[in-house]
Amino acid sequence: MAMNVTVSSACFSVFSYKKVKRIKGAASEDFAAPAALRTEEETKVKLGGSELRVTRLGIGAWSWGDTTYWNNTGWDDRKLKAAKAAFDASVDRGITFFDTAEVYGTTFMGAINSETLLGRFIKERERKNGGVEVAVATKFAALPWRFGRHSVLNALKDSLRRLELSSVDLYQLHWPGVWGNEGYLDGLGDAVDQGLVKAVGVSNYSEKRLRDAYEKLKKRGIPLASNQVQYSLIYRAPEQNGVKAACDELGITLIAYSPIAQGVLTGKYTPENPPTGPRARIYTSEFLTKLQPLLNRINETGENYGKTPTQVVLNWLIAQENVVPIPGARTAEQAEEFSGALGWRLSNNEVDELRTLASKISPVMSFPVENL
């Protein structure tokens, strides 16, 4: 997920049995099978060449504790309860992969670090429901004053303390540093050797940086499991800059942050009702006007399956193969809706049609370091 500077369970609560319409050429199932009845092979995928298996869709925790980008009115008890409900609803529906970072949520203005919240939610779930197995991913911030492999290990240990865990499943470099990247990769390898992580990845890495990181870790016998980048139907830079092709070639999973374009692809916003806060500078009324034909087609496609626009655009990403989207869930209702993106598939024709329509729209803003 982008930097913000300015336990798989038994799944007793599962996907609803929902009859969906078949259309010619569709590859979906007639019913969304309950998570408890599907095998792990169906519900989980391996991250790259690692042994770590995660659910085909994860949950991003960028907004948890945030008081700047997502919650500019402050962080309060109501938002805390909503985030906890989102966590529980995700696990109830078989989504057990959660992505956070040390820079998500600040200690200013009453905010709480996202790692702290996720760790708390896991502990509370364990106390209430017994054993809960989730896959936790977090990220190292490549800040200019951090040097060498030891900075990675020290930051990781701080993250583990906030998460109240002895190890994490996936540890990622959040963005390439201004300098010191060789040492950061050494630190990732050391974390694996010390048993502090199961798998390692990077985020916001260009094709060249991705290949270099892959080769450096390969020399130590450590697979680069993932590259987390912005990717959605209206932001397809990974397809155009070689990142997606490199991931597929090297066996690196692409983790897609902002997969619903920060809510814009849900149909929630219109030219008359654009987003507020920092997003208003990206998703303007003019942009939303140009987006309407695509949103209309997404909605029509969803109606053929009994699915919402959100579920359609998430399924579009899953249909790209080797992609794990991690939409952010701030409420239980959002988490429940995200689960409906699983258990079915758009047809190839529909995937291509939506891409063609989206290509007529000017791309949205990228993350600053993405092309370094």
Residue 198 exposure: Cα atoms within 13 Å on the Cβ side: 20
Burial per residue of 189-212, b for 16 or more beta-carbon CB atoms within 10 angstroms, e otherwise: bbbbeeebbbbbbbbbbbbebbbb
- Is 231 one of the catalytic residues? no
How far is Cα of residue 150 from the mean position of the Cα atoms in its chain? Answer: 27
Q: Which residues contact 39 (CB under 8 A, 6 or more apart)?
A: none
Q: Rounded distance, CA 71 to CA 73, Å?
A: 5
DSSP H helical segments within the chain, as ranges? 40-43, 77-92, 114-129, 148-163, 181-193, 207-218, 237-240, 243-250, 285-305, 309-318, 332-339, 348-358
Q: Rounded distance, CA 145 to CA 315, Å?
A: 40
Catalytic residue of the set 104, 171, 235, 305? 104
Check: CB of residue 314 under 8 Å from CB of residue 260: yes
Q: What is the DSSP letter of 141?
A: -
Q: Which residue has the tokens 């290509």?
A: 359
C-alpha distance from residue 288 to each of 222, 257, 366 (Å): 44, 20, 17
How far is Cα of residue 87 from the mean position of the Cα atoms in its chain? Answer: 14
Hey, is 256 helix, strand or coil? strand
**In one letter, which amino acid is 347?**
S
Burial per residue of 226-245, b for 16 or more beta-carbon CB atoms within 10 angstroms, e otherwise: bbbbbbbbbbbbbeebbbbe
Indicate which residues carry an active-site annotation. Answer: 104
